[in-house]
Amino acid sequence: MHPSWVIVLAGVCAALHVGKLSPALPTLQTALHISLVQAGFLLSAVQLAGMTLGLAVGLSADGLGLRRSMLCGLALLAFASLCGGFANSANSLLALRALEGLGFLLVVMPAPALIRRTVDASELNGRMGWWGTYMPTGNALALLIGPWVIAGLNWQAWWWLLAAVAAFAFVAVWWCVPNLPAPALINSGSFYAGWQQRLALTLRSPGPWLVALTFAAYSSQWLAVIGFLPTVYAQLGLSAGVGGVLSACVALANVSGNIVAGRLLQRGWAAERLLFIGFACMTLGAIGAYAEWQGAGLPTAMRFACVLVFSAVGGLIPATLFSCALRLAPNDATVSTTVGHMQQWSALGQFAGPPLVAWVAAVAGGWQWTWGVTAALSAAGVVLAHLIGRALVFQKDTYE
């Protein structure tokens, strides 16, 4: 198997560990006597790791080595998940969850840079489109497979199964992905190799900030809408099982947008154009899903179709931003640092978006005005997309 596909599969494996908790929460609350507040901390532990360690892990990946970073992350995921199956309290599970968050970051931070170095330039945009699917694919698989494993066996078996998956991914990366030497940067006669130089260069450059803030505008609204879907479906009278399947379908729809974005970029579509389309359709989808006219909204089937549009066309955004991150990173030695910066702001968006939407719903007495949050975030995303387009043009003119 080509190394780039192994890297994508390793990303899906890491995302499975992020999404594995949701289907297990009801069982864990009973088995370990976990309160609702503790459950919330377990869910947010990965995002807290991304918020606080994203940039630092990106820096370490650039210095430690891309392949070595992925191997360390997969080993941590396997170890933490194996130990998690023996956890007997919320605190021990929370500590292991934090370790899984670190492992997740070590896997996904170096992946775009490693894909860039293992594929031809003509195939890069297409492969980055596939890389953008790692998170929705992992979450959807966890939502679909987790309930079956937990119901048929127990939650410990679900943890141990994913430990085995991480171990298998470790072997696949070790066997199939080459151990490439770290890129060196020589710029204006100076050698930038230390983490201080990489950090300063990344934070001084506008490109990493633009892709990071745009990813935050996307991720905050995507998770806010998708995260509350089971609650909304329950209020519409759907069963928990049906709501779970529908939510998984919406997450999988995001995969199609990522793949299409990669192919369109390969055919020469401008990144700015794809970002505009993605944010516009997310706004329209959220309006159709949540807005009400004269006290009533669209029928349930049409609301579901609107959410599918929200997720599927919104999927154009992450793949496009990963491609932009490779092009707007200051140099080859700071690609993982740039992706870490983007991941940190993405985690911040995912952490802040759902509470903001919940607050609007509480104030309005329902979900009918929550689309206003997505519209505001999409407007910010459009402005940032325009600036990204200008930055890419400036970069092209500079090198020509």
Distance from CA of residue 144 to its chain's centroid? 18
CATH number for 346: 1.20.1250.20
Residues 129 and 217 in one domain: no
What's the number of domains the chain is made of? 2
The answer to whether residue 183 sits within a structural domain is: no
Average pLDDT of the residues in 114-139? 79
Residues 171 and 205 in one domain: no
The answer to whether residue 238 sits within a structural domain is: yes
Among the candidates 150, 177, 204, a domain finishes at 177
Tens of pLDDT, residue by residue over 370-389, are: 888 889 999 999 999 999 99
Q: How many Å apart are CA 75 and CA 73, to the nearest integer?
A: 5
The band of 399, judged by pLDDT with boundaries at 50, 70 and 90, is very low
Q: How many Å apart are CA 286 and CA 263, to the nearest integer?
A: 26
Residues 24 and 49 in one domain: yes
Tens of pLDDT, residue by residue over 249-283, are: 887 888 888 888 888 988 889 999 999 999 999 99
Q: How many Å apart are CA 113 and CA 65, to the nearest integer?
A: 11
Residues 221 and 361 in one domain: yes
Q: How many Å apart are CA 354 and CA 350, to the nearest integer?
A: 7
Q: How many Å apart are CA 306 and CA 294, to the nearest integer?
A: 19
Residues 16 and 161 in one domain: yes
Residues 224 and 165 in one domain: no
Average pLDDT of the residues in 196-208? 81
* Residue 399 CB contacts under 8 Å (≥ 6 apart), including other chains: none
pLDDT at 227: 67
Among the candidates 124, 153, 177, a domain finishes at 177
Residues 89 and 2 in one domain: yes
The answer to whether residue 186 sits within a structural domain is: no
The answer to whether residue 246 sits within a structural domain is: yes
Q: How many Å apart are CA 140 and CA 262, to the nearest integer?
A: 20
The answer to whether residue 311 sits within a structural domain is: yes
Among left, alpha and beta (phi > 0; psi -120 to 50; other), residue 150 is alpha
DSSP state of 133: T
pTM (predicted TM-score): 0.78
Residues 242 and 218 in one domain: yes
Tens of pLDDT, residue by residue over 301-360, are: 888 888 899 999 999 999 899 888 888 888 777 777 888 888 888 888 877 777 787 788
The answer to whether residue 187 sits within a structural domain is: no
Residues 122 and 209 in one domain: no
Residues 20 and 159 in one domain: yes
Residues 200 and 100 in one domain: no
Whether the Cβ atoms of residue 207 and residue 321 lie closer than 8 Å to each other: no
List the one residue out of 89, 86, 80, 77 whose CA is nearest residue 38: 89
The answer to whether residue 119 sits within a structural domain is: yes
pLDDT at 182: 57
Tens of pLDDT, residue by residue over 218-247, are: 988 887 777 667 666 766 677 666 766 777
Residues 7 and 64 in one domain: yes
Among the candidates 177, 204, 225, a domain finishes at 177
List the one residue out of 74, 273, 242 whose CA is nearest residue 174: 74
The answer to whether residue 164 sits within a structural domain is: yes
Burial class (CB in 10 A: 0-12, 13-18, 19+), 323: buried
For the ranges 52-61, 65-74, 213-222, 297-306, the one whose mean pLDDT is highest: 213-222
Q: How many Å apart are CA 218 and CA 246, to the nearest integer?
A: 21
List the one residue out of 108, 136, 129 whose CA is nearest residue 322: 129
Residue 60 structural domain: 1-177
SS3 48: helix
* Residue 23 CB contacts under 8 Å (≥ 6 apart), including other chains: 142, 143, 146, 147, 150, 158, 244
pLDDT at 181: 65
